Amino acid sequence: MVSILVNGSPTKEFQFLRGLKQGDPLAPYLFIIIMESLHLSFSSVIEAGIFTGIKIDSSTTLSHLFYADDAVFFGEWSRGNLTGIMHTLRCFSLLSGLSINLKKSQLLGVGIPDSLVLEAATMIGCSVLHTPFKYLGIMVGENMSSIRAWDETVNKLKSRLSSWKLKTFSIGGRLTLLKSVLGST
């Protein structure tokens, strides 16, 4: 039996018989609601001191980011943090029916000996991520301030622009195209 909130008030309980069909326009919204529950669960774990994120400055701590069906967790390197993530994801899986595909998951240790990262990845059941790597189409890693690190992005931009007949675009049209291409890489 399930109940939903309508304008902040729960409805009468009803039986949930089946899920949505693939391609249903409601599916992305349902997924967002479910991912919000993972966000809230993870925030509670942080508040309880079970997981410690990375301090950016005196008032900002980074612990997790979600984009579409992608999740990234940031934290201090400790067995407690790894256990906290795994317990939170296991609870999320039991409650939502969704599970994290650990075969597609990767673990990155910054400034951590490779042997410890490999040991932790084996414990979790995922692979080790090495730098530089691509995340949401952007290279992330060492020496990202060097010009060579951006060669691939610049070449991709040039190839997309060359396929268009730029002389037919106004300056405004060229700027719009440029912003669109840069925003999608």
Is 182 within the bounds of a domain? yes
Q: Which residues lie closer than 8 Å to 56 by C-beta, 6 or more apart?
A: 62
Domain extent for 184:
144-185
Higher-scoring residue by pLDDT: 177, 63: 63
Phi first, then psi, for residue 118 (nearest 5°) are: -65, -40
Q: What is the mean pLDDT of the chain?
A: 84
Asked if residue 175 is part of any domain, the answer here is yes
In a domain, 174, yes or no: yes
Give CA–CA dist 85/74, Å, rounded. Answer: 10
pLDDT at res. 122? 92
31 part of a folded domain: no
Lowest-confidence pick of 32-36, 149-153, 160-164: 160-164
Quick check: is 158 in a domain? yes
Specify the residue for token string 């291409």. 181
Q: Is the pLDDT of residue 105 over 70?
A: yes
Bridge partner residues of 127 (DSSP): 106
The answer as to whether 38 is a domain residue is: no
pTM: 0.65
What whole-number percentage of the chain has pLDDT above 90?
30
Question: In a 3-state reduction of DSSP, which class is residue 165?
Answer: coil
Tokens linked to 128: 């080790």
The number of folded domains in the chain is 1
In a domain, 154, yes or no: yes
Position 47 in a domain: no
**90 or 171, greater pLDDT:** 90
